[in-house]
Amino acid sequence: MDAILALEDGKIFRGRSFGADVERCGEVVFNTSMTGYQEIITDPSYKGQIVAMTYPLIGNYGIVKEDNESGRPFLEGLAVTEYSKIASNWRSEKILQDYLRENKVAAIEGIDTRELTLHIRQAGAMKAVLSTIDLDEKSLVKKARDSEGLIGKDLVREVTGKREIFFEGGKSKYKVVLLDCGAKSNIVRELIKNGCRVISVPAGTPAEEILSEEPDGVLLSNGPGDPAAVKYVINTTAGLIGRVPIFGICLGHQMLGLALGGRTYKLKFGHHGANQPVKDLKTGKVSITVQNHGFCVDMGSLNKKDIEMTHINLNDNTLEGMRHKKLPVFSVQFHPEAAPGPHDAVYLFAEFTGMMENWRAKKKRH
For residues 113 and 242, state if they share a domain.
Answer: no
For residues 16 and 14, what is the distance between their CA atoms, to the nearest angstrom?
7
Q: In the chain, which ranges are E strands? A: 2-7, 12-17, 23-31, 49-53, 57-58, 77-79, 82-83, 106-109, 126-131, 164-166, 174-180, 196-202, 217-220, 246-249, 263-280, 286-298, 307-313, 319-324, 329-332
Phi, psi of 12 (to 5 degrees): -120, 135
Given the residues 39, 69, 190, 337, the one annotated as active site: 337
Q: CATH number of the domain that 51 lies in?
A: 3.50.30.20
Asked whether residue 266 is domain-assigned, the answer is yes
What backbone phi and psi angles, to 5 degrees, belong to 97?
-55, -45
Q: Single out the residue in 146, 174, 203 at which a domain terminates.
A: 146
Do residues 217 and 327 share a domain? yes
- Domain count for the chain: 2
> Among 225, 176, 220, which residue's Cα sits nearest to residue 196?
176
Written as one letter, the residue type at 167 is F
Q: How far is CA 341 from the centre of its chain?
A: 13
Q: What is the mean pLDDT of residues 332-353?
A: 92
Residue 166 sits in the same domain as residue 61: no
Q: Are residues 243 and 319 in the same domain?
A: yes
The amino acid sitting at 74 is F
Residue 343 lies in a domain: yes
* Band of pLDDT at residue 366, cut at 50, 70 and 90: low
Q: Is 25 a catalytic residue?
A: no
- Beta bridge pairs of residue 196: 174
From 77, 157, 80, 147, select the one nearest 111 (Cα to Cα): 80
Whether 151 maps to a domain, the answer reads no
The answer to the question of residue 127 being in a domain is yes
Answer yes or no: do 165 and 142 share one domain: no
Q: Identify the bridge partners of residue 174 per DSSP, sorted by sequence position.
A: 196
Do 199 and 336 lie in one domain? The reply is yes
**Average pLDDT in the 172-189 region?**
96
**pLDDT, mean of residues 305-325:** 97
Least confident of 108-117, 158-167, 176-185: 158-167
- At residue 33 the predicted structure's pLDDT band, cuts being 50, 70 and 90, is very high
Could you tell me the pLDDT band of residue 169, with boundaries at 50, 70 and 90? Answer: low
Mean pLDDT within 262-287: 96
One domain for residues 101 and 29: yes
Share of the chain above pLDDT 70, in %: 99
Last residue of a domain, one of 96, 116, 146: 146
Q: What is the pLDDT of residues 56-104, one digit of tens each?
A: 999 999 999 999 999 999 999 999 999 999 999 999 999 999 999 999 9
Catalytic residue among 25, 181, 196, 250: 250
Residues 344 and 227 in one domain: yes
CA atoms of 200 and 183, how far apart (whole Å)? 9
Residues near 202 by beta carbon (within 8 Å), at least 6 away in sequence: 160, 161, 162, 163, 180
Residue 100 Cα to chain centre, angstroms: 20
Residue 130 lies in a domain: yes
Residues in the chain, overall count: 366
Q: Is 179 found in the same domain as 56? A: no
Q: Does residue 236 surpass a pLDDT of 80?
A: yes
Could you read off the pLDDT of 44-55 as tens digits, one per residue? 999 999 999 999
Provide the pLDDT confidence category of residue 209 given band limits of 50, 70 and 90: very high
- Residue 234 half-sphere exposure, CB side, CA atoms within 13 Å? 17
> Do 184 and 263 fall within a single domain?
yes
Residue 299 DSSP code:
G
Distances (CA, A) of 158 to 201, 204, 223, 245, 252: 14, 12, 10, 27, 16
Residue 137 clears pLDDT 70, i.e. is over it = yes
Query: Last residue of some domain: 128, 146, 164?
Result: 146
Q: 307: exposed, middle or buried (C-beta count within 10 Å: 0-12, 13-18, 19+)? A: buried
CATH classification of the domain holding 312: 3.40.50.880
What pLDDT, on the 0 to 100 scale, is given for residue 363?
79
Given this model, what pLDDT does residue 338 score?
Answer: 84
> Would residue 148 show up in a list of annotated catalytic residues for this protein?
no
Q: Are residue 301 and residue 199 in the same domain, yes or no?
A: yes
Tell me the C-alpha distance between 47 and 88, whole Å. Answer: 29
Say which of 119, 253, 311, 335 is annotated catalytic: 335
Range of 62's domain? Answer: 2-146
Residues 254 and 196 in one domain: yes
